[in-house]
């Protein structure tokens, strides 16, 4: 029996779409995960899935583009089912991740303990994993992550997830757990899988070698006021060699990166605020050095990533993939979806979506593709 | 206020809640103000901490770059030294080969010299043979002259016999019929005398031919002897040259041995130097590993700062909620 199944549809009628997408899934899975375009009513989709799977954990979220068995799709609906034999699963809806994620801390501890995760283990990476799906546009991912990670006294519990989207309308996103819908909360799924899993993060950017120092920032609000002691937009545009009033056109292709040794954590600029400051998709710290990045060949990079990813397994049951909205826009502008999909469709039981941020262990990352594969490791 | 709570060895939230509920409005206001101040201080400290982390990472990056640059230079130097070692090894092989060849040359030159000496001795012997031969020729010449003198005497005798025979013939003619028999004898004697003279002329002629040939031979031998002396002189000179070549080869051999020894020593020193460099490279690799650990540490600190920001933000919201009496 397949441990994971996935399906997608571009059917516009919501009832038909749910019917079509569930036709190839498990009839009574342990977990049902769906991601939907805002072209469908989220409340309706949630209700339909919950009605069909009353004995399963049903988690859903709005997206900004979906990823199904054939790769990227627009205005679609994607669902994945996880068989009971994949392992134990417990879920929590953190109601307010923007202000009071700490209120959900005890629920998180209970949920993790409920499926036998030893929170005090010294080898947390062997205890299981947690999937997190925060709402977007409320600058709450780090807060949610900080509370989820806080239940483990030691480091190393694998965290994987992505932020909900709203088809680039930037108004409101939704998540749901077992029928309950939230636009301020986030869903947490603890898993104690019976199979192996591998997480991988793809970065399609490389440093241009041009660096700047953040000299004034509001970390919590993710705003950078000054770079190298001057107005942020002036310096950013100057270093990039573009006009200041055209800077936002380069955010997608030239985000910033904070380097930790050989690893670059991408910080994507979200928008230029009226006062000339720059707001980011993740927290930015004052006095940190950031480098201007430039894209590598996405198709070649994906081929290499998938080769590395697949070579980790002898058997791959299924794959969750979350891709940043900025990458999606970049791929769209270059018209390379067909080439990328030719690579992605080789993955078995693929499901996921394009997100407003990706969560990978302790960090919220931007402009990244994160992959979670379940199966038998080599 | 909150005295009983802080006196507790363990935190009991129920005691805290009870204490908070029993606060007077003024005490509550003071507590909230204090909490807000503390939140602001925590925020400020966290920001300072994060700034410190940023500076820390900046410095680590500088140190790492310096270590990396140094390491790259060391590796380049190590590679260059390896090339020098390879070249030195090549020189060592060439010098060893030249040294062996020099040794062989010395042996060949010595053999050549010995052969020259043998040739000289052999020439001495041949020269003695020539000298003796020349003496014999001179003796032959002298003996031949004696023969010529004897043949001249015999020729005189033959002439006298012929004259006597002529006189006898005249006397026989005078004697008439009676002298006829004697005349015949005299004629025969005269004939024999003339035949003897003819034979002597032939002998003389042959002897003269022999004398001439012996003279030519003698002259040739003298001439060859001179050439022989010249050749022998040349042989001695060649032998001397062989001696000089042998000395030169020995000098070359000694120099080559010196070069080989010096190269060996240089190679040993360079090898030691390279090993020391390798040790430094390993040390710098160790430094890089330590720096990598520092990076992981700073990355963790970065995440802690992120968490701290989130926690402080939540505390701030909670204190504000407490102040406003609503979440």
A288–B300: do the CB atoms touch at under 8 Å? no
B317 and A143: CB-CB below 8 Å?
Answer: no
* B309–A219 CB contact, under 8 Å: yes
| Interface residue ranges in chain A relative to chain B, Cβ cutoff 8 Å | 99-102, 142-143, 145-147, 149-150, 155, 214, 219-220, 259-261, 263, 283, 285-289, 362-363
Model pLDDT, residue B8: 54
How close is the nearest chain A Cα to the Cα of B306, in Å? Answer: 7
Q: What are phi and psi of A185, to 5 degrees?
A: -105, -165
pLDDT in tens, B61-106: 888 888 888 888 888 888 888 888 888 888 888 888 888 888 888 8
**A257 neighbors A290 (Cβ within 8 angstroms):** yes
- Nearest chain B residue to A285 by CA distance is B50
The mean pLDDT of chain A is 95
- For residues A57 and A102, the answer to whether their CB atoms sit within 8 Å is no
Q: What is the mean pLDDT of residues A267-280?
A: 92
d(CA A7, CA A37) in angstroms, rounded, equals: 14
Which residues are registered as beta bridge partners of A365? A358
- Beta-carbon contacts of residue B34 (< 8 Å; ≥ 6 apart): none
Q: What distance in Å separates the CA atoms of residue A77 and residue A356, rounded to the nearest whole number?
A: 17
pLDDT computed for residue B3 by the predictor? 54
Q: Specify the fold of B82-259.
A: Helix Hairpins (1.10.287)
Of B51, B64, B306, the CB nearest to A142: B306
Give the H/E segment covering residue A3.
Answer: none
Do A71 and A64 form a contact (C-beta atoms < 8 A)?
no
Q: If pLDDT is split at 50, 70 and 90, which confidence band does B11 have?
A: low
pLDDT digits (tens, 9 = 90+) for A347-367: 999 999 999 999 999 888 888
Strands A31-36 and A57-62, by their bridges, are: parallel
> Can you tell me the mean pLDDT for B185-203?
87
Spell out which residues of chain B touch residue A147, defining contact as CB-CB under 8 Å.
Answer: 310
Q: Which two tokens stand for residue A33?
A: 């995960």
C-alpha separations of A339 from A25, A70, A301, B155 in Å: 27, 11, 12, 139
Q: What is the maximum alpha-carbon separation in chain B?
A: 218
Q: pLDDT of A52-82, one tens digit each? A: 999 999 999 999 999 999 999 999 999 999 9
Q: Provide φ and ψ at A354, rounded to 5°.
A: -95, 135
For A286, which of B47, B303, B317 is closest by C-beta distance? Answer: B47
Q: Report the candidate in A255, A164, A361, A13 with the shortest Cα–Cα distance to residue B306.
A: A361
Q: Which of these ranges, A124-138, A190-204, A211-225, B218-232, has the smallest mean pLDDT?
A: B218-232
DSSP code at position A157: -
Strands A230-231 and A223-227: antiparallel
pLDDT of residue B281: 86
Best mutation target, B306, B309, B327, to test chain A (most A CBs within 10 A): B306
Q: Which of A150, A226, A288, A365 to mutate to test the interface with B (most CBs of B within 10 A)?
A: A288
B154: its two tokens: 């015999």
Q: CA of B57 to nearest chain A CA: how many angstroms apart?
A: 8
Q: Do B47 and A146 touch (CB under 8 A)?
A: no
Hey, CA dihedral for B187, B192, B196, B202, is it positive or negative? positive
**What pLDDT is stored for residue A34 in this prediction?**
98
Orientation of helix B180-324 relative to helix B25-174, angle to 10°: 180
Q: Taking Cα atoms as reference points, which of A327, A328, A203, A325 lies closest to residue A260?
A: A203
Percent of chain B topping pLDDT 90: 4
Instruction: Please report the pLDDT score of residue B1 as a whole number.
Output: 45
Share in percent of chain A as helix, strand, coil (round to 5)? 25, 40, 35
Residues of B with Cβ-Cβ distance to A260 under 8 angstroms:
57, 295-296, 298-299, 302
Is the pLDDT at B218 greater than 90? The verdict is: no
Q: Do B298 and A260 touch (CB under 8 A)?
A: yes
Q: Do A143 and B314 touch (CB under 8 A)?
A: yes
| Domain positions in chain B | 82-259
Helix (H, G, I), strand (E, B) or coil at A155: coil
Which string of b and e fits B7-35 if b means at least 16 CB within 10 Å?
Answer: eeeeeeeebeeebeeeeeeeebeebbeeb
pLDDT over 50 (residue B245): yes
> Does the predicted model carry a pTM greater than 0.80?
no
From chain A, the residues in CB contact with B51 under 8 A are 285-287
Higher pLDDT, A230 or B210: A230
Interface of B with A (CB under 8 A): 47, 50-51, 53-55, 57-58, 61, 64, 291-292, 295-296, 298-300, 302-303, 305-307, 309-311, 313-314, 317-318, 327
Are residues B310 and A143, on separate chains, in Cβ contact within 8 Å?
yes
Question: Given this model, what pLDDT does residue B232 score?
Answer: 84
- Residue B4 clears pLDDT 60, i.e. is over it: no
CB atoms B300 and A363 under 8 Å: no
Hey, what are B299's tokens? 């990355």
Q: What is the distance in angstroms between the Cα of A205 and the nearest Cα belonging to chain B?
A: 20
Mean pLDDT to the nearest integer, B8-19: 70
Under an 8 A CB cutoff, do B317 and A99 touch? yes
Shortest alpha-carbon distance between residue B33 and chain A (Å): 20
Task: State residue A94's pLDDT score.
Answer: 98
Among B313, B322, B324, pick the best mutation site for testing chain A contact (most A Cβ within 10 A): B313
The pLDDT of residue A79 = 98
Residues of B in contact with A219 (CB under 8 A): 47, 50, 309
**pLDDT value at residue B56:** 85
Q: Is the pLDDT of residue A282 over 80?
A: yes
Is the dihedral angle over the CA atoms B299, A296, A165, A3 positive or is it negative?
negative
Q: Which residues of B touch A228 (CB under 8 A)?
A: none
Band of residue A91 on the pLDDT scale cut at 50, 70, 90? very high
Find the angle CA(A141)-CA(A192)-CA(A23) to the nearest 5 degrees.
Answer: 85
Nearest to B295 among A147, A261, A363 (CB): A261
Q: What is the ipTM of this complex?
A: 0.82
CB contact under 8 A, A101 and B310: yes
B278-309 pLDDT tens trace: 888 888 888 888 888 888 888 888 888 888 98
Mean pLDDT estimate for chain B: 85
Q: What is the structure's pLDDT at A65?
A: 97
Pairwise CA distance, residues B125 & B100, whole Å: 38
CB contacts, 8 Å: B307 with chain A: 142, 145-146, 149-150
Q: What is the mean pLDDT of residues B188-194?
A: 87
SS3 per-residue string spanning chain B? CCHHHHHCCCCCHHHHHHHHHCCCHHHHHHHHHHHHHHHHHHHHHHHHHHHHHHHHHHHHHHHHHHHHHHHHHHHHHHHHHHHHHHHHHHHHHHHHHHHHHHHHHHHHHHHHHHHHHHHHHHHHHHHHHHHHHHHHHHHHHHHHHHHHHHHHHHHHHHHHHHHHHHHHHHHHHHCHHHHHHHHHHHHHHHHHHHHHHHHHHHHHHHHHHHHHHHHHHHHHHHHHHHHHHHHHHHHHHHHHHHHHHHHHHHHHHHHHHHHHHHHHHHHHHHHHHHHHHHHHHHHHHHHHHHHHHHHHHHHHHHHHHHHHHHHHHHHHHHHHHHHHCCC
**Spatial CB neighbours of B303, under 8 Å, sequence gap ≥ 6:** A362, A363
Q: What are the chain A neighbours of B299 within 8 Å (beta carbons)?
A: 260-261, 263
Task: Work out the minimum CA distance from A37 to partner chain B, whole angstroms.
Answer: 30
pLDDT band at B134 (very low <50, low <70, confident <90, very high): confident
What is Dmax (Cα atoms) for chain A?
61
- Show the tokens assigned to A230: 């001057």
Mean pLDDT to the nearest integer, A313-333: 95
Q: A143 and B50: CB-CB below 8 Å? A: no
Residues B3-23, mean pLDDT to the nearest whole number: 68
pLDDT value for B201: 85
- DSSP annotation of A58: E
CA-based nearest residue in chain B for residue A284:
B306
CB-based contact A261 B307, cutoff 8 Å: no
Q: Which residues of A touch B313 (CB under 8 A)?
A: 143, 220
């Amino acid at each position: 029996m397949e441990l994971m199944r996935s399906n997608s549809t571009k059917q516009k009628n919501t009832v038909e779409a749910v019917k079509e997408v569930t036709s190839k899934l498990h009839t009574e899975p342990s977990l049902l995960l769906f991601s939907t375009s805002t072209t469908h009513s989220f409340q309706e989709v949630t209700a339909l899935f919950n009605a069909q799977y009353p004995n399963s954990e049903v988690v859903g979220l709005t997206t900004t583009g979906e990823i199904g068995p054939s790769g990227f799709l627009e205005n679609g609906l994607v669902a994945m089912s996880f068989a009971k034999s994949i392992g134990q699963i417990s879920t929590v809806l953190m109601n307010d991740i923007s202000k009071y994620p700490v209120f959900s801390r005890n629920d998180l501890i209970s949920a993790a303990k409920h499926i036998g995760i030893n929170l005090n283990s010294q080898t947390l990476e062997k205890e299981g994993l947690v999937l997190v799906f925060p709402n977007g546009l409320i600058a709450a991912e780090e807060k949610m992550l900080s509370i989820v990670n806080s239940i483990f006294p030691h480091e190393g519990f694998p965290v994987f997830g992505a932020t909900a989207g709203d088809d680039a309308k930037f108004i409101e996103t939704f998540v749901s757990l077992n029928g309950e819908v939230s636009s301020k909360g986030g869903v947490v799924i603890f898993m104690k899988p019976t199979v192996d899993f591998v997480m991988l993060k793809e970065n399609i950017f490389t440093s241009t070698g041009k660096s700047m120092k953040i000299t004034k920032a509001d970390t919590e609000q993710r705003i950078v006021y000054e770079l190298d002691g001057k107005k942020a937009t002036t310096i950013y545009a100057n270093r990039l060699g573009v006009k200041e009033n055209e800077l936002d056109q380069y955010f997608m292709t030239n985000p910033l990166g904070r380097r930790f040794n050989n690893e670059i954590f991408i910080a994507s600029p979200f928008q230029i605020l009226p006062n000339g400051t720059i707001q980011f998709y993740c927290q930015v710290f004052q006095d940190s050095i950031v480098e201007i990045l430039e894209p590598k060949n996405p198709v070649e990079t994906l081929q290499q990533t998938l080769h590395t990813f697949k070579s980790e397994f002898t058997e791959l049951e299924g794959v969750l993939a979350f891709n940043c909205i900025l990458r999606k826009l970049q791929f769209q502008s270059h018209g390379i979806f067909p080439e990328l999909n030719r690579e992605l469709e080789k993955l078995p039981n693929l499901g996921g979506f394009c997100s407003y941020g990706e969560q990978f262990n302790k960090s919220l990352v931007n402009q990244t593709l994160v992959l979670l594969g379940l199966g038998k490791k080599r | 206020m909150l005295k009983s709570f802080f006196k507790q060895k363990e935190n009991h939230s129920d005691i805290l809640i009870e204490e908070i509920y029993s606060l007077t409005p003024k005490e509550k206001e003071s507590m909230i103000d204090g909490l807000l101040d503390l939140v602001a201080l925590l925020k400020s400290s966290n920001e300072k901490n994060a700034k410190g982390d940023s500076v820390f990472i900046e410095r680590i990056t500088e140190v790492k770059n310096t270590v990396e640059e140094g390491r790259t230079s060391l590796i380049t130097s190590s590679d260059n030294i390896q090339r020098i070692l390879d070249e030195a090894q090549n020189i060592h092989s060439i010098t060893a080969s030249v040294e062996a060849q020099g040794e062989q040359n010395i042996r060949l030159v010595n053999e050549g010299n010995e052969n020259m000496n043998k040739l000289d001795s052999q020439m001495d012997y041949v020269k003695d043979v020539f000298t003796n031969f020349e003496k014999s020729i001179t003796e032959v010449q002298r003996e031949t002259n004696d023969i010529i003198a004897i043949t001249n005497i015999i020729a005189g005798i033959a002439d006298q016999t012929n004259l006597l025979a002529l006189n006898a013939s005249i006397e026989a003619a005078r004697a008439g019929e009676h002298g006829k028999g004697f005349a015949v004898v005299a004629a025969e004697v005269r004939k024999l005398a003339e035949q003897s003279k003819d034979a002597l002329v032939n002998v003389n002629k042959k002897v003269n031919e022999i004398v001439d040939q012996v003279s030519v031979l003698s002259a040739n031998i003298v001439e060859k002897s001179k050439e022989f002396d010249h050749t022998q002189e040349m042989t001695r000179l060649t032998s001397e040259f062989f001696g000089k070549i042998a000395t030169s080869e020995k000098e070359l051999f000694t120099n080559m041995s010196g070069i080989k020894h010096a190269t060996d020593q240089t190679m040993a020193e360079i090898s030691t130097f390279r090993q020391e460099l390798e040790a430094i490279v390993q040390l710098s690799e160790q430094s890089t590993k330590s720096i990598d650990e520092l990076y992981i540490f700073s990355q963790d600190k970065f995440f802690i700062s992120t968490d701290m920001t989130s926690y402080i933000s939540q505390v701030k919201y909670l204190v504000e909620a407490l102040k406003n009496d609503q979440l």
